[in-house]
Amino acid sequence: MASYGWTYAVQVGIGTGPGLKYYMLQLDLTGVLTWMQCEPSVPDLPQTSPIFDSSESPTYGYVDARRCKAPYTPAGQDSTGIMSPQRPSAVPAYHIRVIGVLLNRQELSDIPANAFQGGCGVDVGTTMSRMIQPAYGVLDHALMAHLARFGAQRFAVPGYNLCVLDTPVIRANLPSMALDLYGGTLLDIAPAQLFVVVSDQGNQYLCFTVVPDEHQTVLGAMQQVNTQFVFDLPNNKISFAPAQC
């Protein structure tokens, strides 16, 4: 997977024989249609790869809907329901119901009970996760209190809300985080998906990749790494499981 024009994309091969061509497939959880530009159209959108010509692919044909398989469910999966966004300004994404946050498996009980009433969007188009301010303030305080035990001090680094100097002791004690989802399911997020190394003015920092937001909570692409998600829309359910991806 690669970052591609502020979104995520994967390289896919389409067609067989002389018709095989490779394209960058942009991942978008907010669209309802998978599409590509094909001959004989004259597309308005520029692309670097040749326009796909189905006449050159000997295996091209229409797909019988009866041959489509049921949604795949990953092994060892957990699941939660999909909800509609509660705010008109919310990111256009699938939303899950969050009821709390855990840091190093400790519940942050000071988060207001109604902090996540607008749900949590799941969006690969959002790079870093965003958390509604009343909940983020509690998380920020707990995170700094944890890191301060290992000598961490807060530094201002452009583009991030919380950064500390990168030292072996701090790096070895970075905490995990989990979202407590409706139905008793935990979505675990490892330290590797929560912190990035950033160089600024000759120093190296560990920066937290969850940032505050005044309006909404969104699970971004960085926190979805190494977790396999399956969107079972007919059953209004999102399943997820750890994976090396």
| pTM greater than the 0.85 cutoff | no
Set out the domains of the chain in order of their start, with CATH numbers. 2-67 (no CATH), 78-242 (2.40.70.10)
Residue 2 — pLDDT band, cuts 50, 70, 90?
very low
The predicted model gives 119-143 an average pLDDT of 93
217-219 and 120-122 as β-strands: parallel, antiparallel, unpaired? parallel
Sheet holding 177-181, edge to edge: 106-107, 98-103, 177-181, 185-189
Tracing tokens 């991806």 back to the chain, one arrives at: 245
How far is residue 6's CA from residue 127's CA, in Å, rounded to a whole number? 8
In 3-state terms, what secondary structure has residue 238? strand
Q: State the Cα angle at 133 between 159 and 29, rounded to 5°.
A: 70
The predicted model gives 15-44 an average pLDDT of 79
Q: What share of the chain is helix, strand, coil (3-state, %, to 5)?
A: 15, 35, 50
Residue that wins the pLDDT comparison between 150 and 182: 150
Q: What is the DSSP letter of 40?
A: T
Residue count of the chain, please give it. 245
The predicted model gives 153-169 an average pLDDT of 96
Q: What is the pLDDT of residues 83-105, one digit of tens each?
A: 655 555 555 568 899 999 999 99
Residue 136 — pLDDT band, cuts 50, 70, 90?
very high
How far is residue 196's CA from residue 159's CA, in Å, rounded to a whole number? 12
Kindly tell me if the per-residue pLDDT of 59 is higher than 80.
yes
Phi and psi at residue 135, to the nearest 5°: -80, -40
